[in-house]
Structure 1
Amino acid sequence: MKKTLLLILILLSLQSCNNADAYMVFSEVPDLTMPDNGLRFKEIENYKNYKIVATHFVTDNSELRYILANKKAFIALSKEQPFPEGSILVNIAWSVKNMSTFKEALEADEIQQIDYSIKDSKQFSQNPGNWGYASFEKRNGNYQSSTGGTARCIACHNNAKETDFKFTTYQKMQ
């Protein structure tokens, strides 16, 4: 009986070590919902565990953006394959400031907003590429659902039809 119990404990320990969720770091995101499509900020509560796949500097509002991908999206990007159902890309937009230690350089300062898109052909069959969008802006230190809704996301991403309505390409480390 003791040997059986010990074997079960060992197997459970090994299973938890092999379980990717055992290492997940959850962010504390507010319980906000996009009013026009029902996507929740909590949907990406574990975004800190996603892989950074690209960075962009957007010149019209001087934002540095980090693009993160969940496992499904990361595999598709890294293999240059179409995004499968359940792919999630997160866009973290930061204001920038001059670095105090290297005056010629800019660095991320404060998060301005966190956006995400999710590929879901059931929930977003009416959207181009079956992508749903959410945008959470930071105002006065607190996140709020975007007042602009998702129509502006869809309109902008329509410009990237040839790349499955996404602007991001995987920036491989070489």
Structure 2
Amino acid sequence: MISRLLKVTPRLRLIGIVLGVFAALVVTIVTTGDWTRNHVLAFQSESPSPVRSAVFEGDGSLHLPDGYRHWEHVGTRIKPDGRSVLDGSEITTPQVMDTYIVPAAFDFFRKNGIWPDGTQIVKEISLIKTGKDCDKNTFVCSTSFGSGIFQASYIGMGVMVKDSKRFPSAPGNWGYFAFRSNGSMYQATATARPQQQCASCHIRLSSNTDYVFSSTHIGLLPGNSQ
């Protein structure tokens, strides 16, 4: 009987060692899994905005956005009269406003329904073509390519920038800027506009859509932001 126990004991010891190693391995895997999952969640919660921020000078002026005409175009509006959004001057020739949004911000909005930090929205303004071949009332012009209303020249642009660090107390963290055209060239930088020039209208008319005029842009209407 004693000889049998002596033979079995080494086996029991070996089984015990194996079970101990297996248990330690299980604890390590579970602990490592929890650590990895928790750190991934923490990383996700602290991840920066997917949108590259706008470029600013040291004095806070905004650089002219680079390549904005290649951004997502979400709509065009013709403003026939009233006051220009550039400087409040009276409109004597209809203005065309084309709106572009930085693609990463548009993709985020399309998937999540909100505008992320770093969003830039450009509204570029041009004048309607006029002249001897154009009707003075309808502004329809006759050309060898057919009749139509044509854009003639760019006169400026308005830019909205969402930046929670730079505009922490502004509604929606939006800053507003305007660039004027000097012939075929825009000014290189622009300073932030006072609230009464741009922000006041956005606050009054579109506070429920994060201060963006979504309803006036066909590309931002439900079902159209594909």
2:180 to 130, 137, 149: 137
Q: 1:148 to 1:124 in 2, by over 3 A?
A: closer
In structure 2, the gaps of 5 or more residues are 1-55, 82-90, 130-139
How far is the alpha carbon of 1:125 from its aligned partner? Answer: 1.5
2:199 to 140, 154, 162: 154
Percent of counterpart pairs with the same letter?
25
Aligned to 2:79: 58
How far is the alpha carbon of 1:56 from its aligned partner? Answer: 1.4
Alignment root-mean-square deviation, CA: 3.1
In structure 1, the gaps of 5 or more residues are 1-31
Aligned to 2:60: 38
Structure in which a larger fraction of residues adopt strand = 1
How far is the alpha carbon of 1:72 from its aligned partner? Answer: 2.8
How far is the alpha carbon of 1:156 from its aligned partner? Answer: 2.0
Aligned to 1:25: none
Q: Deviations over 1:68-106 (max 9, x none)?
A: 111232114434601011111111111112443433x21
> What aligned pairs does 1:1-150 form with structure 2 within 5 A after superposition?
38-42=60-64, 44-60=65-81, 61=91, 62-79=94-111, 81-97=113-129, 98-99=140-141, 100=143, 101-103=145-147, 105-144=148-187, 149-150=193-194
Query: 1:93 and 1:82 mapped to 2: Cα distance?
Result: 26
* Structure 1 residue identity aligned to 2:113: Q
Query: 2:161 and 2:69 mapped to 1: Cα distance?
Result: 16
* TM norm structure 2: 0.52
How far is the alpha carbon of 1:108 from its aligned partner? Answer: 1.4
* TM norm structure 1: 0.66
Structure in which a larger fraction of residues adopt helix = 2
How far is the alpha carbon of 1:48 from its aligned partner? Answer: 2.8
Q: Deviations over 1:147-172 (max 9, x none)?
A: 99343011221121111111134523
Is the Cα contact below 8 Å between 1:95 and 1:112 reproduced in 2?
yes
Query: 1:113 and 1:119 mapped to 2: Cα distance?
Result: 20
Is the Cα contact below 8 Å between 2:154 and 2:184 reproduced in 1?
no
Query: 1:133 and 1:58 mapped to 2: Cα distance?
Result: 20
